[in-house]
Amino acid sequence: MTDIGFNRQASEGINRFHHETGAHFVEIFESDSDRRSRLLRMMVNDGVNPVIGVGYGNLSAIREVAAEFPQTRFILIDAVIDLPNVQSVIFKEHEGAFLAGILAGLSSQSKQVGFIGGRDIPPIQRFRCGYSQGVRFASSDIHVIEDMADSFFEPEIGRSLSKKQFIQGVDIIFAAAGTTGEGVLKEAATHQKLAMDSNNAPLISERMKNGIRFARQLIIDGKLVVHDASVDQRCPAPTDSIAILKDR
């Protein structure tokens, strides 16, 4: 079982690697954090090397097991472990979410947009704040309603939270919630709201595309710094300098 985010991408990638090289692999999905350490030890003892953990939730288990098996290589996606046999892979989620926020800010008709996160952990903090800053970069008079589901594996919670937000007047929701986010998509369909994909891409106007291109280049050039909320648990409003840059 995988969600429609990077868990599925990781699964598709490892399957593609298998078909292209013939290398064998073991794929396990475990939502119970208490069982992950035991499963990792079983994999290592069976000769699996390297071991790849997809998601922040694997942090504690990989840190524990990697210290016990220094000759085994581990790869952890979405968190950092300072051990010589662990390769940490992290992303600047806040920068991508900022661009999503710009799109939401330029698209919203109700002047209210929503965010639903899985759990209050560093990657989701970066998503949440980056999105909020992007919304305000596009339009300072849009209100962002935020909710945390406290789970990445409960579509019904995602559906309930998104229903609440739609009733409050939200017309666009950005979900960073794993399988919980699938419930957001289903509720959006019920309310005839849009989730961005190839089916509705023509609704993205040239004005919207230009706004995203403009902000993206500013970020690349270092002229616009999107705040990383995981560093200090703060999400400051965009500064006047950002507003000035927007108008150029």
pLDDT digits (tens, 9 = 90+) for 26-59: 888 887 777 999 999 999 999 999 999 998 989 9
Domain housing 43: 6-89
The structure tokens listed for 31 are 């939502």
**Are 125 and 218 in the same domain?**
yes
What single letter denotes the amino acid at residue 147? Answer: D
CATH (domain of 115): 3.40.50.2300
What single letter denotes the amino acid at residue 105? Answer: G
Q: What is the CA radius of gyration of the chain?
A: 20
**Are 126 and 178 in the same domain?**
yes
Does residue 1 form part of some domain? no
Q: In angstroms, rounded to a whole number, what is the distance separating the alpha carbons of residues 10 and 231?
A: 27
The burial of 30, by beta-carbon neighbours within 10 Å (0-12 exposed, 13-18 middle, 19 or more buried), is given as middle
Domain count, the chain: 2
**Are 123 and 138 in the same domain?**
yes
> Which residue, 89, 117, 151, sits at the end of a domain?
89
**Are 66 and 107 in the same domain?**
no
Q: How far is CA 224 from the centre of its chain?
A: 21
Confidence grade of residue 203 (pLDDT, cut at 50, 70, 90): confident
- Maximum pairwise Cα distance, the chain: 59
Angle at 24 between CA 70 and CA 63, to 5 degrees: 25
Does residue 115 form part of some domain? yes
pTM for the predicted model, two decimal places = 0.84
Task: Give the tens place of pLDDT for each residue, 85-142.
Answer: 999 999 999 999 999 999 999 999 999 999 999 999 999 999 999 999 999 999 889 9
Does residue 162 form part of some domain? yes
> Which residue, 61, 89, 117, sits at the end of a domain?
89
Residue 174 dihedral angles phi and psi, to the nearest 5°: -105, 120
